[in-house]
């Protein structure tokens, strides 16, 4: 699962570290057909790319939702075979939206294991600025409260070539606009369900939640792609 422009360069150890899992887990998923085979390079060494990382993240998210391996296999089997890492990230975001907020207190070692990489003091400060981690309770400086739903995103953002101020400004924009959209959608749905039985309202909410999240993600992705395309076109013309 790699894009055409991507050159698979990760060894299985690097893939496991990037995804925050063990090499044994990668091999297990591969043996079950949940991961596509690597590209075999010199010395018969398998190389993996961003598509493998994205698919591993999706598999792990599905497992966190309590899905069995058989159910995960069926879910992945229904996906188009040419999905890009970005497409897989959209699917994972939709799946993650089904889960309740989960904030846990973990040790620094466990935090680094989940992040899939060592974390320097400045890395933890950056994650804290994004509200992904916070100091743990008590006097233990080596424990942290971590938002499990945001950790993988926060770790990925650490590698984005943007300043901390730009990332925080972007976060503010997203929060403000998503809250406005959520408020307007809630008002719309409230008018539709006002006369219904409470059980019907609960059922409708359960069905609409993932659909609305997927619709928002898809429309945002397309809008952002169009904006970036216009910006790049204007830059070339200038």
Integer angstrom CA distances of residue 194 from 34, 78, 184? 44, 36, 15
- pLDDT per residue as tens digits for the range 93-141: 777 766 656 788 889 888 988 888 889 988 998 898 888 899 887 666 7
In our burial notation (b when 16+ CB lie closer than 10 A, e otherwise), range 75-90 reads bbeeeeeebbbebbbb
Confidence grade of residue 213 (pLDDT, cut at 50, 70, 90) = low
Contact 16, 114 (CB under 8 A): no
Give 137's DSSP letter. S
The pLDDT mean for the chain works out to 80
- How many other C-beta atoms lie within 10 A of the C-beta of residue 107? 13
- pLDDT per residue as tens digits for the range 10-66: 999 999 988 888 899 999 999 999 999 998 888 888 999 989 999 998 998 888 778
Is the model's pLDDT at 5 over the cut of 50? Answer: no
Distance, in Å, from the CA atom of 3 to the CA atom of 8, rounded to the nearest integer, reads: 9
- Residue 146 structure tokens: 């971590």
The residues pairing with 133 across neighbouring beta strands, listed in sequence order, are 146
User: What is the Cα 12 distance to its own chain's centre?
Assistant: 21
Q: End-to-end CA distance of the chain, in Å?
A: 36
Is the model's pLDDT at 6 over the cut of 60? Answer: no
Contact 52, 36 (CB under 8 A): yes
For residues 217-229, give the mean pLDDT.
75
Contact 62, 93 (CB under 8 A): no
**Cα Dmax for the chain:** 68
Confidence grade of residue 201 (pLDDT, cut at 50, 70, 90) = low
């Amino acid at each position: 699962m790699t894009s055409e422009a991507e050159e698979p360069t990760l060894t299985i150890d690097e893939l496991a570290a990037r995804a925050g899992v063990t090499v044994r887990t990668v091999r297990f998923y591969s043996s079950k057909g949940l991961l596509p085979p690597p590209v075999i390079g010199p010395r018969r060494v398998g190389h993996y790319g961003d598509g493998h990382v994205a698919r591993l993240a999706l598999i792990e998210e599905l497992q966190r939702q309590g899905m069995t391996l058989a159910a995960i296999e069926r879910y992945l089997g229904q996906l188009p075979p040419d999905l890009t890492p970005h497409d897989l990230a959209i699917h994972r975001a939709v799946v993650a939206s089904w889960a309740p907020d989960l904030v846990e207190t973990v040790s620094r070692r466990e935090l680094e294991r989940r992040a899939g990489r060592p974390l320097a003091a400045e890395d933890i400060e950056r994650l804290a600025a994004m509200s992904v981690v916070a100091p743990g309770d008590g006097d233990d400086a080596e424990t942290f409260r971590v938002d499990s739903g945001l950790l993988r995103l926060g770790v990925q953002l650490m590698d984005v070539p943007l300043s901390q101020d730009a990332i925080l400004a972007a976060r503010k924009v997203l929060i403000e606009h998503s809250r406005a959209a959520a408020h307007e959608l809630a008002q719309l749905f409230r008018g539709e369900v006002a006369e219904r039985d409470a059980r019907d309202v609960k059922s409708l909410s359960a069905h609409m939640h993932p659909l609305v999240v997927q619709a928002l993600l898809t429309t945002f992705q397309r809008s952002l792609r169009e904006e970036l395309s216009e910006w790049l076109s204007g830059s070339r013309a200038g």
